[in-house]
Amino acid sequence: MSSIEERVKKIIIEQLGVKEEQVTNDASFVDDLGADSLDTVELVMALEEEFECEIPDEDAEKITTVQQAIDYVSAHLG
C-alpha cells in the first residue's frame, strides 16, 4: 500500500498531466503546475474518488498546493 502522499501525487500527475519531478510539496497547482480553475475542480473530484470522501466547496477552495492536498486528505482520513 502506498502512502497518502504518494497516492495524492500520483493523482496530481495524472490529472494535470505534469512530470513527477514537478510535483514538489510546495508546488502550487495554478502557479507552478499550470492548472486552470476547472483543472483544480477536477483534481478535487479525483481526490474525492480516490479517497472515497466528500470535500466541501469551502475546503476545496483552500487546497491550492500539493502539501495542502496531502494535509487535507491525511487529516480527514485520520
Partner 1 sequence: MSLDKQVALVTGASRGIGRAIAHELGREGAVVVGTATSAAGADAITQDLLAQGLRGQGLVLQVTDAASVEAAVKAVTEAFGAPTILVNNAGITRDNLLMRMKDEEWESILATNLTSVYRLSKAVIRGMMKAKYGRIINVGSVVGSMGNAGQTNYAAAKAGLLGFTKSLAREVGSRGITVNAVAPGFIDTDMTRALPDEQRAVLIGAVPLARLGSPEDVAAAVAFLASERAGYITGETLHVNGGMYMA
Judged by CB under 8 A, does residue 42 bind partner 1?
Answer: yes
**Longest CA pairwise span in the chain (Å):** 31
Judged by CB under 8 A, does residue 38 bind partner 1?
Answer: yes
The least CB distance from residue 14 to partner 1, in Å, is 13
Judged by CB under 8 A, does residue 45 bind partner 1?
Answer: yes
Within 1-78, residue ranges assigned H as helices are: 4-16, 37-50, 57-60, 66-77
The least CB distance from residue 37 to partner 1, in Å, is 9
Phi, psi of 34, rounded to the nearest 5 degrees: 70, 20
Q: Give the catalytic positions in this structure.
A: 36
**What single DSSP character describes residue 18?**
-
Q: Which residues bind partner 1 (CB under 8 A)?
A: 38, 41-42, 45
